Amino acid sequence: MTALLEIDLDAIAANWRALDAMHAGQTAGVVKADAYGLGATHVAPKLLAIGCRHFFTAHLSEALTIRVLLPGAMLAVLNGILSGEAAEFSARNIVPVCGALHELAVWRAEARRRGEVLPVILHVDTGMARLGFSGPDLARLGEDATLLEGMRVDYVMTHLACADAPEDPMNARQAAAFAAAARQFPGAKTSFANSSGMFLAPEFGSDLARPGAALYGIDPSSGGGCKNPMRGVVRLSAPILQIHEVAPGETVGYGGDWTARRPSRIATLGVGYADGFHRSLGNRATAYFDATPVPLVGRVSMDLTTFDITDLRGLQPGDRLTLIDERHGPDQLAREAGTNGYEILTSLGRRYQRRYSGA
């Protein structure tokens, strides 16, 4: 009896359509990290079928996995290009997002080898200090046209650091810095907003938005007091393996972290931190049976968790508890775990039985 992870591709499609409708430019689909843990080989074709024509992964290996599934679509790699990868990029029509002079040198040599003009996306660092051109290197790009020989700059992009906090002054600083940088490349289109950035002011619009987490039901406002505008897309449930009668004063699980204060019925589920159900959820998480909340008691172990079902007398082994759904989504589970919804989704394990709807 395994846990079941249900993934609603129609809900993902509805989220993309909603985001696309609110954006004046085009809207990409970010399918990195295996589409945030939900299966890029299922998600990417669904997005293509409803009109998405621009896709981003983090690594070349991710792009190679889905390239054949996206005929005619732009497919770009956010983490750039390494020495030795250029031939695969060009042969498979994958666009590198370059944010350093040494990356441009790799791509420039490949253009020279092929005798072709190759597309490139330039990543400008406007405050994240992770990837992207900044300072002297950005100035050099504006001054020395030979650095871009053999390349066609399709987009100039940056990445917002604080878009989930609309009042943070860093948003305005990044917008100003990006506008100045983009002026150096007058023939190129721009790509600016991530999921949260799409909910900021109009000046954060661009030719190509790059939503990721919002496609998969994560709240783009980071739970900032507003109702999540995105539809939930996953449901995780697991059957009860065993039920134990625990007397007052007896403990449950490793370390005896939970002690029964009354005669209790404890249900064991076959889900643990090896499945991405975080160890930090011990004594904090909530499951549901129908509309009734069921508290997790004791520690989360590698393969098992224990829940107090004392107030649900009718439950038997084989009955299922729901761990994630529309009511108790990744963001809610993340708050219990002390993390964010991104980590919840991308941690989802490979031992779950996966069922896709809307394919």
Q: Are 80 and 100 in contact (CB under 8 A)?
A: yes
> DSSP letters of 280-323?
GGTTT-EEEETTEEEEB-S---SS-EEEE-TT-TT--TT-EEEE
Which amino acid is located at 19 in the chain? L
Q: What is the total residue count of the chain?
A: 359
**What's the CA gap between 339 and 336, in Å, rounded?**
8
Classify the C-alpha dihedral 310-314-320-326 as positive or negative: negative
Strand partners, 259: 251
Helix then strand count (H, E) for the chain reads 10, 19
**What's the CA gap between 173 and 37, in Å, rounded?**
32
Residues in Cβ contact with 128 at an 8 Å cutoff, skipping those fewer than 6 apart: 159, 161
End-to-end CA distance of the chain: 25
Structure tokens at 59: 């690594």
**What's the CA gap between 169 and 149, in Å, rounded?**
37
| Strands 4-8, 353-357: pairing kind | parallel
Q: Identify the active-site residue in 155, 189, 216, 254.
A: 254
Q: Are 120 and 98 in contact (CB under 8 A)?
A: yes
Chain-centroid distance of CA 108 in Å reads: 31
Q: Identify the active-site residue in 32, 36, 216, 352.
A: 32
**What's the CA gap between 257 and 315, in Å, rounded?**
24
**Catalytic residue list contains 254:** yes
Q: What is the DSSP letter of 111?
A: H
**What's the CA gap between 30 and 38, in Å, rounded?**
12
Catalytic residues: 32, 254
